[in-house]
Chains A and B, each alone.
Chain A
Amino acid sequence: MNFKQFLAQSGMFLVFFVVVVVSYMTAPQFMSKENMISLGLQVSSIGVVSCTMLFCLAAGDFDLSVGSNFALGGMVGVLVGNATSSLFFGVLAAIAAGAVFGLLNGIVVAKFKINALITTLATMQIVRGLANILGHGTPQTAEKPGFDFLGNQAYLSIPLPIWIMILFFVIFGILLNRTVFGRNILAIGGNKEAALLAGVQVDRSKIAIFALSGMVAAFAGVVAASRLVVASNNAGVGLELQCISACVLGGVSLSGGIGTISGTVVGVLIMGIVENVMRLKSIDAFYQLVVTGTILLLAVLFDRVKLRILKSA
């Protein structure tokens, strides 16, 4: 492996390193423990949902409905939590709601062969509408004590949402790399025909991916609602694009077949750090959009150059 290939292979990690160094130099308080925790909390939702987005992208699809499922999850979680006085039932109900729409996405995409863009665009609107209907168009507050457990407890002085994110990265990393389900996802995204002819259950895998995506998004929604003790009907707007951006930054191919969990972690963190530092320097949020958009564009260009270098090798 020559230097060029090394750069191409590990480019995003180098970029990550540079981003960290530059952040520290421009804002020394970046490295403080408080800021690290706030950074972790800030990316915890994107991080968790990016795990399943990675699966969708790796299989050659994507799921635009995660933002809405996130809102619905929070809403159902708070309402059921209020009604039953139990966080556990709230979480369960939220995951069930996410599963319903995830399954719907999966069945329509896999069995009826409808484009994932159209399918999830439709469910994105349906689910957002349902979240609004359930909350009567307003945020709903969790009334029972104990509901904030998931969001506000800390272990080893690190809040639970960060632990949950780390747990998800580990679980999905193992799923993708070590299990038949995970390897089949990459095979489906890499060459669907080959997977089909080799006897891989393509439809079933796709349905599982979308169902998982719905459940995980809804669960992330409950965790966020638990942290804020309120479920917003507008929660997670734009979350789907943030997750796709993070995955692409981490080297996941939009046409499927290529994706790693370590890359996704790096992608999530780069997005988070840029936002975090700009906030530390009290730069207007509008500029943040311009900067994150630019980074995404550069990442995609970099990806193209990378493929060219790897192919020429």
Chain B
Amino acid sequence: MLTFQSISKGFSGVQALKDVSFAVTGGSVHGLCGENGAGKSTLLKVLSGVHQPDSGSLDIAGKSCTFRSALDALNGGVAVIYQELNLVPEMSVAENVWLGHYSTRGPFVDFKELQRKTTESLRRVGLDVPPTTRVGTLSIGQKQMVEIAKALTRNAKVIAFDEPTSSLSAREVNTLFGLIEELRSQGLAILYVSHRMDEITKICDACTVLRDGKHIETFASMNGVNAAMIVNRMVGRELAAAMVDTTRQAGDEILELRDVVGPGLAEPVSLTVRQGEIVGVFGLIGAGRTELLKAIYMGKQGEVLVANSRVPRKGAGTSIRNGLVLCPEDRKQEGIVPMLGVAENLNISIRRSLAKLGFWISRGAEKENATTFIDRLRIKTASLNTPISNLSGGNQQKVILARWLSERVKVILLDEPTRGIDVGSKAEIYALVRDLAGKGIGVLFVSSELPEILALSDRVYVMCEGRIAGAMPTREATEPKLLSLALPKGEAA
């Protein structure tokens, strides 16, 4: 149904895709895997007409296609469902589904016809909301269904999903997979991009691995293919099995929470983290994990003790001065200042103490600090002043970690530290976190990935519906155990 024929694409000196060829058959789900920067996004953008290949061609249903714009690709039967959904929140479901090709009567939009047709397409994706609902009021899962309905109205023959489950709850993921099955049985070709190997092995019929812009391998059938084999092809080297580090000795209590409350938390939370200990917090989306970290970091109620001294509950500034810092989940929104350079981003926090007389920025000291950490954390950047947005996700995360390492940190709160980061960089981030703990820092980190929790933490808290549902040392924890604690009651796994 869809064939990529020796697609190449370069951007100002960087070869993003080199001679990539593979075929996706109709009525199948084809996985696309690769580390960040492997060329998956570029390939999707070539497919959706945003980028034009330098050489090579696309065949759809036996016809060679050249897409010059997103509109071309839509008309050619290709729809891409991006990770960041492209909907207009203020408008109705019907208007969103038919955006760009409204039914008209003369110069006027025919709203009646629009609603009738929308009801039809919503039924096809199994979304039960009135077509006049404002999209902004829908859940993320429902919005995704609207996107898919939108794709179907364009008579898409090929639908590509870019990390569709990254912000869905477990139940929504199941609904989505059901729908993908349905689309497959209708004969559509589905390209499925994901970092989650369990999903690839679960729903895909075939799978292609890219690395450094090159086609590495296409598994024509997923029989006998497991996650390790795919990951192996993605990184091109055997990943050392993540081991629980047992050499570290946990010391005295460094963080203690007494009845911390905040929005999103159903009941007051008390917990402890010891010096040199890595404590994981696991929970499904909406369990209140991020809310917990925010309540610790800048909440107003409850007591937070760092190294046995009480932290005044007056916001982020006092927390930082007391050695308690947070690396937020949403790097782009809350972590980095994208326009500024690497060094600026790294020094944002330490600047106060480096500055002469407390206000005159000391260029030398800042440069030295930045250089030290870029070396120590192996941050890949062209220069100190390269805009941080040019760095890969993993390197951005390292800059944020370096920001806090510059300070005299006692406790670090990490919110999904490896979200959207490729496999290779993940291992480096893990090593860094272990390094931090080795220096006696207490680490409290939140993750929705079970393997990550099991690999990295010494002890685990499980959250469910805004409360702590359980706690155990990691060596006693297993995936089913943690998951059953995390699932809301009455929704057994």
Contact = CB atoms under 8 A, between A and B. Distances in A.
Nearest to B85: A194
Interface stretch (A184-192, A206-214, A239-247): A184-192
B88 A194 contact: yes
Contact of B95 (A187, A193, A197): A187
A190 B136 CA distance: 11
A178 interface: yes
A153 B119 CA distance: 51
Instruction: Give chain B's interface secondary structure class.
Output: loop
A67 B90 CA distance: 30
B70 A199 contact: yes
Given A186-B88, A199-B71, 12 more contacts: A183-B102, A187-B91, A187-B99, A190-B88, A191-B87, A194-B87, A194-B88, A197-B70, A199-B74, A199-B100, A200-B100, A258-B90
A196 B87 contact: no
A196 B95 contact: no
B150 interface: yes
B86 interface: yes
A198 B150 contact: yes
B360 interface: no
Contacts of B150: 198
A257 B69 CA distance: 24
A258 B48 CA distance: 29
Contacts of A183: 91, 95, 102, 109
Contacts of A186: 88, 90-91
Nearest to B137: A313
Interface string B68-104: 0111001100000010001111110001100111101
A195 B102 CA distance: 12
Nearest to A259: B90
Given A180-B104, A186-B88, A190-B88, A195 B99 contact: yes
A258 B88 CA distance: 11
Interface residues of A, number: 18
A217 B87 CA distance: 33
B11 interface: no
B100 A257 contact: no
Nearest first, the 7 closest Cβ-Cβ pairs linking A and B are A198-B100, A194-B86, A190-B88, A199-B71, A199-B100, A198-B99, A191-B88
Contacts of A258: 90
Given A187-B91, A191-B87, A196 B70 contact: yes
24 contacts: A178-B109, A179-B108, A180-B107, A183-B95, A186-B88, A186-B90, A187-B95, A190-B88, A190-B90, A191-B86, A191-B87, A193-B86, A194-B86, A194-B88, A194-B99, A197-B48, A197-B82, A198-B74, A198-B99, A199-B70, A199-B71, A199-B74, A257-B88, A258-B90
Interface string A72-107: 000000000000000000000000000000000000
A260 to B, nearest CB: 11
Interface string B115-155: 00000000000000000000000000000000000100000
Contact of A191 (B71, B74, B89, B101): B89
Count chain B CB atoms within 10 A of each CB in A179, A195, A197, A257 and give the residue with the most: A197
Nearest to B136: A311
A196 to B, nearest CB: 6
Nearest to A174: B108
| Most B-side CB within 10 Å, residue of A187, A257, A258 | A187
A30 B78 CA distance: 62
Interface string A41-55: 000000000000000
B91 to A, nearest CB: 6
A208 to B, nearest CB: 13
A193 B82 CA distance: 11
B70 A179 contact: no
Nearest to B99: A198
A78 B345 CA distance: 58
A226 B86 CA distance: 47
B88 A199 contact: no
A199 B101 contact: yes
A261 to B, nearest CB: 15
A180 B109 contact: yes
B458 to A, nearest CB: 39
